[in-house]
């Protein structure tokens, strides 16, 4: 069942052209055979389906949490949509997100929504340099709450600044789990079983061999 929803997500991302194949330069200067842009989930129907996949990933991972937190900017629509998806699945949880600049009038501050309390699960699209995770963890801890983990759409499973992947670096640095809807392994598994995708499979497999990190 878990592998099923992960492969369904890969197909969904391809069908919506959020996941593309070709040659794309990453921030690290690598030439990647695929590109994932969660910002292109930009209509009501695709955002609703994306949030449902996030909810399934939460259920499969079974990470204990009390509320959701979305880092500005991409995390803002994501955290709201995931809260709705969880509500539809029978679990009503509070959520909040941050402003980039603190508000100096009205209620003030830089946190919008529910107060940060208990265990807060961070909802984001991907982890690259880990900047938004670091900012989120600091905001959560400053509020005397506890970061419960990070939930992302796709884990590229490739080396970051060292031998670990970006998600492994985050998990190790903050001592929290990083949960994804799908990983590079799931993408390879999908391509292996998809007709007409032999060229894409070969390119992605070669990229994984060169830059990938194997998880235990």
Residue 110 structural domain: 2-211
With respect to residue 83, please indicate whether it lies within any of the assigned structural domains: yes
Kindly give the parts of the chain with pLDDT less than 50.
Answer: 1, 105-106
Give the number of other CB atoms < 10 A from CB of residue 127: 25
With respect to residue 78, please indicate whether it lies within any of the assigned structural domains: yes
The pLDDT value recorded for residue 102 is 61
With respect to residue 29, please indicate whether it lies within any of the assigned structural domains: yes
Question: Do residues 41 and 47 make contact, with C-beta atoms less than 8 angstroms apart?
Answer: yes
With respect to residue 8, please indicate whether it lies within any of the assigned structural domains: yes
Q: Is 105 a catalytic residue?
A: yes
With respect to residue 130, please indicate whether it lies within any of the assigned structural domains: yes
pTM (2 decimals)? 0.92
Looking at residue 40, the DSSP 8-state letter turns out to be G
Alpha carbon separation from 132 to 2, 91, 104, 127 (Å, rounded): 27, 26, 23, 8
With respect to residue 167, please indicate whether it lies within any of the assigned structural domains: yes
With respect to residue 216, please indicate whether it lies within any of the assigned structural domains: no
Strand ranges (DSSP E) for the chain? 19-25, 31-36, 67-70, 94-103, 109-113, 119-123, 146-155, 178-183
The pLDDT value recorded for residue 1 is 44
Indicate which residue of 7, 27, 94, 105 is catalytic.
105
Looking at residue 153, the DSSP 8-state letter turns out to be E
Residue 79 maps to which CATH number? 3.40.50.2020
Task: State which H helix or E strand residue 9 sits in.
Answer: helix 2-15
With respect to residue 173, please indicate whether it lies within any of the assigned structural domains: yes
The pLDDT value recorded for residue 72 is 92
DSSP 3-state of 20 = strand
The pLDDT value recorded for residue 162 is 85
Indicate the number of domains in the chain.
1
Dihedrals φ, ψ of 155, to 5°?
Answer: -100, 110
Give the number of other CB atoms < 10 A from CB of residue 28: 14
Q: Is 103 a catalytic residue?
A: yes
């Amino acid at each position: 069942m878990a592998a099923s929803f992960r492969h369904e997500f890969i197909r969904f991302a391809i069908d919506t052209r959020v996941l593309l194949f070709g040659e794309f330069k990453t921030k690290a200067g690598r030439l990647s055979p695929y590109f994932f842009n969660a910002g292109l989930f930009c209509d009501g129907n695709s955002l609703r389906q994306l949030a449902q996949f996030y909810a399934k990933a939460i259920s499969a991972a079974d990470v204990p949490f009390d509320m959701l937190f979305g880092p500005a900017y991409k995390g803002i629509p994501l955290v709201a949509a995931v809260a709705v998806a969880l509500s539809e699945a029978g679990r009503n949880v509070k959520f909040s997100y941050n402003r980039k600049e603190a508000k100096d009038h009205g209620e003030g501050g830089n946190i919008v929504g529910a107060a940060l309390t208990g265990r807060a699960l961070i909802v984001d699209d991907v982890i690259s340099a880990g900047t938004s995770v670091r900012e989120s963890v600091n905001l959560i801890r400053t509020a005397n709450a506890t970061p419960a983990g990070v939930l992302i759409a796709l884990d590229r499973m490739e080396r970051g600044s060292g031998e670990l992947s970006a998600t492994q670096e985050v998990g190790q640095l903050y001592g929290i789990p990083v949960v994804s809807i799908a990983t590079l392994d799931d993408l390879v598994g999908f391509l292996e079983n998809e007709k007409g995708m032999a060229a894409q499979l070969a390119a992605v497999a070669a990229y994984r061999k060169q830059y990938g990190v194997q998880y235990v």
